[in-house]
Structure 1
Amino acid sequence: MFTVFEIGPWVIEADAAETRKQYEKSWAEPCDCGSCRNFSEAMNLLPAEKTRLFTQFGIRPAVCHDLGEHGKENGLHHYAGSYPIVGRLREGCPEYHIERAGDIRFSFSLPSTTFFIPKDFPDPIIHLDFSLLLPWVLEEEAE
């Protein structure tokens, strides 16, 4: 069932229940590098109010396959990535327009490739693109 979300310049119709169902499936093996494992662990440690931007759409924040680490800022690791959502942009620009939800910078876009979208992820699809800073939480040294 599609729900309407008004966020920044966007009006989004998203099916959070279907998106959640997709994130509960077993996807292809994620990257196993230290940076990606740290992202997953650090996202699992964030309080609910910090991850609400993602979870309201049915996203499991620790599961991101389109992810990159882009150095450090003020001792924190800068991550940027994209999560697929079952949904459509009803209003607003699909171009990259940055909004903020606390410390998280985000935007919504149309997928330009299906490379990082799991097989059988249902249409329509939009992306929640994000950028955020996270601490290193793994016991091993940062790469």
Structure 2
Amino acid sequence: MLKEHRVQGELQLTKRIVITDWEIEVDYSKTKEYYSNHKIDDDCTCTSCMNYRFNCKQFSNELLEFFEGLGIDPSKEGEFMDFGVSKEGSVIYMGFYHLVGRILDGPDYVDDKWEELNLFKINEFEFGFSSLELRCVPDDFPDPVIQLEFKAILPWLLEVPRE
């Protein structure tokens, strides 16, 4: 469900979304505005992070539409970590993105419950939402904040070796 309302002449888009066990409300306008104004230069430049961002350019339309539907630029993560290499030789990433919004129903903490929760999957990603123990929230990120937590197994696409 998409709700539109105007605040001081500006169009504000708020989306109510149901995904597996979660019902969330996302302020699409504020989330999109933040990601549009955030400079990637402020983020990590290690090879693992560069590989993740390079993979973003290869994401499927379905995955890109999911991120866009929340107002997120996937190349501008809140944080992610490289958890080594899978049996197949791909890199295991876990991390999160921030959104302006609230969890209306469903689990409010994902971090240590990956195997127990009904996560939603798109291609090589598994997702869930958290509103407790928010991490690395930029000082200028608008309230209220929820995290889109993810685990992904992505190929190494850079020509330079993994550090």
Q: TM-score, normalised by structure 1?
A: 0.91
| Mapped partners of 1:89, 1:135: distance in 2 | 32
| 1:46 maps to which of 59, 67, 70 | 59
- In the TM superposition, what is the alpha-carbon distance from 1:26 to its structure 2 partner? 3.0
Identity within the alignment, %:
31
Report which of the two structures shows the higher radius of gyration computed on alpha carbons.
Answer: 2
Q: Which residue of 2 aligns with 1:104?
A: 125
- In the TM superposition, what is the alpha-carbon distance from 1:32 to its structure 2 partner? 1.1
Unaligned runs of 5+ in 2: 1-12, 111-116
Q: Number of residue pairs matched? A: 142
Q: Deviations over 1:64-90 (max 9, x none)?
A: 141100111111111110100001011
| Mapped partners of 2:148, 2:134: distance in 1 | 14
| 2:138 maps to which of 100, 118, 122 | 118
Unaligned runs of 5+ in 1: none
Q: TM-score, normalised by structure 2?
A: 0.80
Secondary structure of the corresponding residue to residue 130 of structure 1: strand
- Is the Cα contact below 8 Å between 1:107 and 1:130 reproduced in 2? yes
Report the CA distance shift for 1:113/1:4 in structure 2 as closer, same or farther (over 3 A): closer
Q: Which residue of 2 aligns with 1:136?
A: 156
- Is the Cα contact below 8 Å between 1:44 and 1:61 reproduced in 2? no
